[in-house]
């Protein structure tokens, strides 16, 4: 391995140390920790995080020196991590918080815009359609009721006239006044009283 490659490897690994420090802070910021409590999902997240960081580090190493591992590589990573802790951590955490707040504000703004331009007009349109449907249904029912009265009333009056002309009421009165009807009526009354006693 030439000196140039070694120099590039040292610089890359120092940069990866800085990257690891920033990645760890970002991961801790977004992961909700439960102290004194082991949770399998947190364990899986931790394993995946370190696996991804290891793969990124090895990919960078593969690009710089074809994946050759030397002792000074670990020292360079450690130096980069220490440099991040000493020089960049506070600045990065402030930038991270501001970035998170900006994204949240952008999300709230987008949600409000969606509500104003899409949800509210759709609600208003649905409400308008509902009212129009109710008005149409009421109008149709009113017309149907009017037509029913228009048709039924002449039929009712015609039946009333026929009822009077034919003398159906007199016939009913004659039937009610017969002894057979009176006896039958008395029988059913007695039967009903007997059923109620039982």
In contact, 17 and 78? CB cutoff 8 Å: yes
Q: What pLDDT is recorded for position 171?
A: 61
Q: What is the tens place of the pLDDT at every residue in 82-111?
A: 999 999 999 999 999 999 999 999 999 999
Residue span of the structural domain in which 45 resides: 3-132
The number of distinct structural domains making up the chain is 1
Give a yes or no: residue 198 inside a domain.
no
CA 2 to chain centre: 60
Q: What pLDDT is recorded for position 92?
A: 93
As a whole number of angstroms, the distance between CA 108 and CA 118 comes to 15
Task: State which H helix or E strand residue 183 sits in.
Answer: helix 179-197
Q: What pLDDT is recorded for position 167?
A: 62
CB atoms within 10 A of CB 12: 20
As a whole number of angstroms, the distance between CA 121 and CA 136 comes to 22
CA 15 to chain centre: 43
Angle at 55 between CA 53 and CA 56, to 5 degrees: 65
Q: What is the tens place of the pLDDT at every residue in 113-139?
A: 999 988 899 999 999 999 999 999 999
Q: Which residue has the higher pLDDT, 181 or 3?
A: 3
Average pLDDT over residues 173-193: 62
CB atoms within 10 A of CB 17: 23
Give a yes or no: residue 30 inside a domain.
yes
As a whole number of angstroms, the distance between CA 111 and CA 177 comes to 84
Closest by CA to 89, choosing from 81, 100, 98, 101, is 81
Give a yes or no: residue 139 inside a domain.
no
CB atoms within 10 A of CB 16: 23
Give a yes or no: residue 180 inside a domain.
no
CB atoms within 10 A of CB 69: 10
Give a yes or no: residue 197 inside a domain.
no
Q: What is the tens place of the pLDDT at every residue in 17-69?
A: 999 999 999 998 888 655 545 677 788 888 999 999 999 998 888 888 877 77
In contact, 89 and 21? CB cutoff 8 Å: yes
As a whole number of angstroms, the distance between CA 76 and CA 11 comes to 8
In contact, 66 and 4? CB cutoff 8 Å: no
Give a yes or no: residue 184 inside a domain.
no
Angle at 181 between CA 179 and CA 182, to 5 degrees: 60
């Amino acid at each position: 391995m030439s000196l140039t490659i070694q120099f590039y490897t040292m610089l890359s690994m120092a940069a990866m140390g800085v990257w690891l420090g920033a990645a760890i802070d970002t991961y801790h910021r977004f992961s909700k920790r439960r102290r004194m409590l082991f949770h399998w999902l947190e364990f899986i997240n931790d394993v995946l995080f370190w696996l991804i960081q290891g793969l990124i580090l090895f990919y960078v190493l593969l690009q710089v020196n074809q994946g050759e591992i030397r002792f000074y590589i670990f020292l360079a990573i450690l130096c980069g991590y220490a440099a991040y802790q000493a020089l960049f951590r506070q600045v990065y955490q402030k930038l991270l918080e501001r970035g998170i707040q900006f994204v949240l504000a952008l999300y709230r703004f987008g949600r409000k815009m969606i509500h104003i331009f899409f949800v509210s007009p759709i609600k208003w349109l649905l409400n308008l359609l509902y009212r129009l449907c109710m008005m149409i249904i009421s109008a149709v029912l009113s017309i149907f009721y009017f037509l029913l009265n228009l048709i039924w009333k002449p039929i009712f009056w015609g039946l009333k006239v026929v009822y009077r002309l034919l003398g159906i009421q007199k016939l009913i009165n004659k039937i009610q006044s017969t002894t057979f009807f009176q006896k039958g009526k008395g029988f059913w009354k007695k039967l009903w009283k007997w059923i109620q006693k039982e």
